[in-house]
Structure 1
Amino acid sequence: MAGRRRWSTEEILDTAADLLHTSDAESFSVRKLAAVLGTDSSSLYRHFRNKTELLRAVADRILAAAMDGYRPDGDWKQRITATAQRLREAFGRHPQLAAIWGRYGSGGTGSRLVMEELLQALWASGLPEEEIPSRYHRIVILVAALIASEAGIATLTPGEYEQGMEQFRVAVLGADPGHFPALAHFAREIRPLGAAGGDAFDEILAAHLARIEAAIP
């Protein structure tokens, strides 16, 4: 009787990423992954000690793919912007995995590549060294939040999106001026979350980098 196939780490991660496209981190399990691969969970635990370690590895692959072929170019703001856009594009292709990055931060190669470039760019900005770690953390939190926000919209089904739009129209256009005067006044100009994701991402990131620039001696 032929033995079960031995799956490589890369093949396991590829299959895990595919499975996460149709589920989330909460419903994902090593048992489900093993069933898809046609093996048992114990064989996967030879590669990853637990579900968290596996999810971290999946997220790290997205980060590594985002930084593949990257070469620093331009000033410090351009470098940070280019890195953020690469992360945004990478998770835009895998929106279901965006939340995993924020929750299961990894210490793998992809994570180190991102951290190194952001820290190098801030180091080149002229900021006092003691401020660089806190500035770095704020940039990562901002970029991760913006990416997760866009991903949340991207993962909606057409039915869910239309239902949300209908609720938005009722809430905004039907607002009682007596109780919600500002909302009623601006109702025609207010757009739903995600309607201008691209512009919002660029503007918010640029504004944050401008604040950093203003703090440089």
Structure 2
Amino acid sequence: MTGRRRWSTEEILDTAAELLRTSDAESFSVRKLAATLGTDSSSLYRHFRNKTELLRAVADRVLLAAMDGYRPEGDWKQRITALALRLREAFGEQPQLAAIWGRYASGGTGSRLVMEELLQALRASGLPDEDVPARYHRIVILLAALIASEAGISALTPKEYDQGMEQFRVAVLGADPERFPALARYARDIRPLGADRHAAFEELVAAQLARIEAEIR
């Protein structure tokens, strides 16, 4: 009698990534992954101890892809900006995984490569060594939040996006000026969260780096 096929770690992660393209971390389960692979959950637990460890491994592959072929160029600000844009692009191709990275983090090789480059760039900035970890932490929090926000919008279906835009218009343009005077005043200039998010991403990263530069000076 032929036994069940043994799946490699990479094959398991490939399938998990595909499932996560059309679902989220909450609805994803090891049991569902096992059913897709035509095996049982116990066989997957030989590779990963639990769901969280599996999700971290999937997110780490995105970080690895972002760092593939990366070479540090320019000054410290250019290096961090280039890295931020690479991360945004990588998670933009797999938006469902952006929230997983922000929530579960990762301790894999991809994560270590990102951490190393950020820390090296901050050291090159002239910051005192004792200030580098705190500044690193602020930058990572900012990137994770911005990337997850962008990904959340890009993961919407056209119908969901249109519904959201309609609700935004009703909420803003239909605001009662007596109860919401500031909102009524600026209603025609207020833009939805998804508008110009690429420009906003770069502006916020640049502002954080400018703050660090001002402290050094």
Normalised by the shorter chain, which TM-score bucket? over 0.9
1:191-210 correspondence runs (5 A): 191-210=191-210
How big is the shift at 1:98? 0.4
Q: TM-score, length-normalised on structure 1?
A: 0.98
Identity %: 83
Structure 2 counterpart SS, 1:215: helix
Q: Give distance in 1, aligned partners of 2:192 and 2:103.
A: 26
Q: Give distance in 1, aligned partners of 2:8 and 2:164.
A: 42
Q: Which runs of no fewer than 5 residues in structure 2 stay unpaired? A: none
- Which residue does the alignment assign to 1:91? 91
Render the CA deviation track for 1:93-116: whole Å, top value 9, x for unaligned. 000000000111111100000000
- Which residue does the alignment assign to 2:72? 72
- Which residue does the alignment assign to 1:118? 118
- Which residue does the alignment assign to 2:107? 107
Query: After TM superposition, which residue ranges in structure 1, 4 or more long, deviate above 3 angstroms?
Result: none
- Which residue does the alignment assign to 1:165? 165
- Which residue does the alignment assign to 1:34? 34
Q: Give distance in 2, aligned partners of 1:194 and 1:169.
A: 13
Q: What is the count of residue pairs matched by the alignment?
A: 217
Q: TM-score, length-normalised on structure 2?
A: 0.98
Q: Give distance in 1, aligned partners of 2:64 and 2:14.
A: 14
- Which residue does the alignment assign to 1:134? 134
1:59 has 2:62 as partner: no
The code of the aligned residue for 2:121 comes to A
Q: Please report the RMSD computed on the Cα atoms of aligned residues, expressed in angstroms.
A: 0.8
Q: Give distance in 2, aligned partners of 1:52 and 1:180.
A: 43
How big is the shift at 1:161? 1.0
- Which residue does the alignment assign to 2:45? 45
- Which residue does the alignment assign to 1:4? 4
How big is the shift at 1:155? 1.1
Q: Which runs of no fewer than 5 residues in structure 1 stay unpaired? A: none
Render the CA deviation track for 1:149-174: whole Å, top value 9, x for unaligned. 10111111122111111110011111
